[in-house]
Amino acid sequence: MDDSVYLSVTPDLAIPRSELEYRATKSGGPGGQHVNTSSTRIELLWDLPGSTAITEEQRERLRSKLAARLDAEGKVRIVASDRRSQGQNRQAADTRLAAVVRAALVIPKKRRATKPTRASKEKRLSDKKRRGERKRERRDIDD
């Protein structure tokens, strides 16, 4: 896929750059006096409800996992202001969006309940018995 047209998230998922909205604002980050006059902070907005890149199932999963990053309209908001230039912050925002979406789409494996093995039960009981004996040996014996 072409990086200039799509933001690659996973091998199966790429977000069209036409769905991404970039805003440049004044940054409070590194750069000293220069920062006061240049807009290097990048705010990246992705219209999750209107996206054509994802399925309805993925949309629901992203909506629940990324609830803290959504604004009132349901857009995902990523901010990058740690670099000195607008271009670098733009790349950082792209990378963060891809990482956040990738992590949110991972479906965790379901835990299968297991029973403790006979050996582990026996070890636990023998350790318990040994601890009890050690405590018994510490006691004062009344004559």
Cα-Cα-Cα-Cα torsion 96, 102, 103, 106, nearest 10 degrees, comes to: 180
Verdict on whether the full-model pTM lies above 0.95: no
In this prediction, residue 85 has a pLDDT band, given cuts at 50, 70 and 90, of confident
Whether 53 has a pLDDT exceeding 60, the answer reads yes
Domain parsing of the chain, residue ranges? 1-143
Q: Across the chain, which distance is largest between two alpha carbons, in Å?
A: 90
In this prediction, residue 6 has a pLDDT band, given cuts at 50, 70 and 90, of confident
Whether 98 has a pLDDT exceeding 80, the answer reads yes
pLDDT of 26? 77
pLDDT of 60? 92
Whether 31 has a pLDDT exceeding 60, the answer reads no
Q: If you classify domain 1-143 with CATH, what class do you get?
A: alpha beta
Average pLDDT over residues 87-98: 92
pLDDT of 10? 87
- Residue among 63, 82, 61 nearest 74 (CA): 63
Mapped onto helix, strand or coil, the DSSP state of residue 84 is coil
Mark residue 32 as left, alpha or beta (left: phi above 0; alpha: psi -120 to 50; beta: remaining): left
Whether 52 has a pLDDT exceeding 70, the answer reads yes
Give the whole-angstrom CA distance, residue 40 versus residue 80: 9
